[in-house]
C-alpha cells in the first residue's frame, strides 16, 4: 500500500475523530449551561473537520487522476465512515445546543 495514501487516511481519521469529540463535548457544555464554551468547541471541531475534509478532497483528486493504489480501500472506507459520523455529530450538536438554550 502506498505510504502517502495510508498516512492521509490516518490523518483524516485523526482530524475527524478530534472534531467528533469536540462536537460531543459541546453538547455536554451546553447541557451544563456553558454556551460560550459549547460554541468554542463547535468552532474547534469545525477546524479539525475542515483539515480532515481537505485530506479527503486530496484523495478524491488523486483518485480521479488514477493515482491511488488499488489495495487498501478498507482504510479509506473507514476514514470516510468517520468523516460522515463527525458530520452527523455536528448537526446533532447544533440542535442540542439550540434546545438547551431554549430550555434554560
Please tell me the distance from the alpha carbon of residue 49 to that of residue 53, in angstroms, as a whole number: 6
Count Cβ atoms below 10 Å from residue 5 Cβ, excluding itself: 20
Q: What is residue 71's predicted lDDT score, i.e. its pLDDT?
A: 76
In tens digits, the chain (104 residues) has pLDDT values of: 588 999 999 999 999 999 999 999 999 999 999 999 999 999 999 999 999 999 999 999 998 998 888 776 889 999 999 999 999 999 999 999 999 999 99
pTM for the whole structure: 0.92
Write down the catalytic residue from 53, 54, 56, 78.
Answer: 78
Q: What is residue 68's predicted lDDT score, i.e. its pLDDT?
A: 85
The residues, ordered by sequence, that sit 6+ positions from 103 with a Cβ below 8 Å of its Cβ are none
How long, in residues, is the chain?
104
Told to judge if 78 belongs to the known catalytic residues of this protein, a careful annotator would answer yes
H-assigned helices in the chain? 3-31, 35-64, 73-103
Amino acid at each position: 500500500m502506498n505510504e502517502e495514501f495510508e498516512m492521509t487516511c490516518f490523518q483524516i481519521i485523526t482530524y475527524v475523530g478530534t472534531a467528533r469529540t469536540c462536537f460531543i463535548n459541546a453538547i455536554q457544555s451546553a447541557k451544563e449551561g456553558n454556551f460560550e464554551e459549547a460554541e468554542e468547541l463547535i468552532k474547534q471541531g469545525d477546524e479539525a473537520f475542515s483539515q480532515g475534509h481537505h485530506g479527503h478532497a486530496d484523495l478524491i483528486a488523486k483518485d480521479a487522476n488514477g493515482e491511488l493504489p488499488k489495495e487498501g480501500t478498507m482504510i479509506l472506507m473507514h476514514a470516510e465512515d468517520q468523516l460522515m459520523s463527525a458530520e452527523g455529530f455536528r448537526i446533532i450538536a447544533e440542535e442540542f445546543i439550540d434546545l438547551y438554550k431554549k430550555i434554560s
